[in-house]
A = this chain, B = another copy of it.
């Protein structure tokens, strides 16, 4: 799949190779900060009685792939003129919430996944009870970090940012989307229900990540709203591309023949819309994401580039 760059980019050809390299450096800098900070925000226990829980929490957060969500927190904070360091606890909290949701998603009573990113899932490595508790502990830890952060932020900014995350992660956001996902296994769903499901399951946390960066920087409502919209469209596009890749790749990550979602009868963008319409929708979502960035000016080119790279990725 290839992004139709000329028709999507509102300012085609604007960013030259030097610009791309600059923004790659910025995003990679965020990634490096997160990889360094994340283990430091995980709990430790000096009593020596029990460390298995902490090991399971660390394992769940390690090898985290792109760290897309926390990178968005930091980049929106930077774009809004905030102190990127003061956003780090929030970035790590978002990543912990993402990690907890994967741990619980992989459990035998949910997706029953023995693997996650090419290595044993948490319950496969530590047993089911500890995986359940490590997930719970990561969710709690996210709030501990945010509420206890000593980064010189005013209390009301911390509250705003933490509330955005709690709302996105909860029953009207990510968990709500997961419940719709469960139900979609048992019955036919419409494209509207699939959209609602993915808005909760995938887009809510991405959208919240963008908004949190703005909250920490003390940005105005216009910027917060634009950031939310970018994250939401990015999340929707992300899932459509996932479905397209699942339907078109020859093997999945376990090496089994792909097309698993089609054979399981579970609705995807591809089963409901067909491949071509799904591609068109992914293009449109990317365009909407990029349009939302206008308020941030040229300095948001890194995020424009990011949206394209997610659209044209190969897994």
List A residues at the B interface (Cβ < 8 Å): 43, 45, 47, 49-50, 52-54, 57, 100, 104, 107-110, 128-130, 132-133, 135-137, 139-141, 143-144, 147-148, 154-156, 158-159, 162-163, 166-167, 169-172, 175-176, 178-180, 182-183, 193, 196
Contacts and interface: CB of A to CB of B under 8 A. Distances in A.
Given A109-B132, A136-B139, A148-B163, 11 more contacts: A50-B176, A52-B183, A53-B171, A53-B175, A53-B179, A57-B171, A107-B109, A137-B170, A144-B163, A147-B162, A155-B156
Contacts of A104: 132-133, 136
B49 A196 contact: yes
B147 A159 contact: yes
Nearest to A136: B175
Contacts of A167: 144, 148
Contacts of A180: 49-50
Given A141-B170, A170-B140, A182 B147 contact: no
At the interface, is chain A mostly helix, strand, loop or mixed? Answer: helix
B159 A52 contact: no
B130 A182 contact: yes
Contacts of A137: 170-171, 175-176
B132 A172 contact: no
A176 B45 CA distance: 10
Nearest to A135: B136
A50 B183 contact: yes
A46 to B, nearest CB: 11
Contact of A175 (B109, B133, B162): B133
A235 to B, nearest CB: 18
Contact of A143 (B54, B129, B162, B172): B162
